[in-house]
């Protein structure tokens, strides 16, 4: 069976407040995107990669892609649209039973151990699943006027990370149905959940952060330095 990696990297990263999209900001002297692809490649050197890039992207350099089987697919208006374009582009060569792992380009700190543990869990699972970490903070729901409406129980709450992995056929069906039903999906798992299935939660390290805000870049620098000893 083939393993496919889909890396949505077509975001503009507006919350970053930078002219350069966040996947191209430097992290230990290399762009975020190069780190993320290098980590995926170390864990899965034989995988095939679909890299979702904005059609107007003029920062990308193919020298950052370590995979021998890879292709570039266009970005959509939302993350889920970018992923759907990638899945459509794979239709000629992917089998329904092939495993597809979707990983945000903005998560360069994912470790080889977590990637391998997730892969093993997914190979044994009919539904599929995702890396996730139990919520540590107390969660407040706002009243939309800047005050606390209530405190949500954090018991049993998890933060969804990526990669998220599912069989090609199931993932395509889930994302197509979500689109038809106008469901807002910010990750693959939620589309699969909408089919009535229960993706597996695979406990991941808390430092698999998603670079979103400017301060996250400095945090990622520290995480990478600490991981590499
Ligand atoms: O903006 P956010 O951090 O939620 O984006 C998550 C991931 O989805 C990033 O890797 C980003 O590049 C990607 N993305 C995309 N196409 C979009 C929006 C986001 O590939 N239209």
Identify the structural domains of the chain with CATH numbers, from first to last. Answer: 3-227 (3.90.550.10)
Residue ranges around ligand 1 (CB below 6 Å): 8-11, 23, 52, 75-79, 82, 104-106, 210, 212
pLDDT at 12: 81
ipTM: 0.95
Amino acid 229: pLDDT: 66
Backbone φ and ψ of 136, nearest 5°: -100, -30
Asked whether the beta carbons of 22 and 118 are under 8 A apart, the reply is no
Ligand 1, pocket-test mutation among 56, 60, 79, most atoms within 8 A of CB:
79
Model confidence pLDDT, tens digit, residues 120-157: 999 999 999 999 999 999 999 999 999 999 999 999 99
Nearest CA among 106, 82, 79 for reference residue 25? 106
pTM of the shown model:
0.96
Quick one: which atom of ligand 1 is closest to the CA of 8?
20
Nearest to 8 by CA among 63, 68, 66, 74: 74
Residue 20 CA to ligand 1 centre (angstroms): 14
Task: Report the pLDDT value the prediction gives residue 49, as an integer from 0 to 100.
Answer: 98
Of 209, 178, 180, which is closest to residue 195 (Cα–Cα)? 178
Distance separating alpha carbons of residues 43 and 33, to the nearest angstrom: 16
Ligand 1: atom nearest CA of 210 is 3
- Tell me if residue 129 falls in helix, strand or coil: strand
What is the per-residue pLDDT for 19?
82
Residues of the chain with pLDDT under 50: none
- Between CA 133 and CA 160 the distance in angstroms is 7
């Amino acid at each position: 069976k083939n393993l496919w990696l889909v890396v949505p990297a077509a975001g503009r990263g507006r919350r970053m407040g930078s002219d350069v999209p966040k996947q191209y900001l430097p992290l230990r002297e290399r762009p975020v995107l190069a780190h993320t692809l290098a980590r995926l490649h170390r864990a899965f050197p034989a995988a095939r990669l679909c890299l979702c890039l904005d059609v107007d992207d003029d920062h990308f350099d193919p020298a950052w892609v370590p995979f021998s089987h890879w292709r570039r697919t266009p970005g959509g208006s939302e993350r889920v649209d970018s992923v759907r374009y990638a899945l459509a582009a794979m239709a000629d060569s992917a089998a329904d039973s092939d495993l597809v792992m979707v990983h945000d380009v903005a998560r360069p700190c994912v470790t080889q151990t977590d990637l391998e543990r997730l892969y093993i869990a997914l190979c044994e699972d009919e539904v599929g699943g995702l890396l996730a970490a139990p919520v540590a903070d107390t969660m407040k729901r706002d009243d939309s006027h800047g005050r606390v409406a209530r405190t949500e129980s954090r018991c049993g709450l998890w933060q969804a990370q990526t990669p998220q992995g599912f069989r090609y056929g199931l993932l395509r069906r889930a994302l197509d149905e979500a689109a038809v039903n106008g469901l807002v999906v910010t990750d693959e798992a939620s589309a699969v959940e909408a089919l009535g299935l229960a993706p597996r939660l695979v406990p991941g390290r808390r430092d698999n952060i998603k670079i979103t805000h400017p301060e996250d870049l400095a945090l990622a620098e520290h995480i990478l330095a600490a991981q590499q000893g």
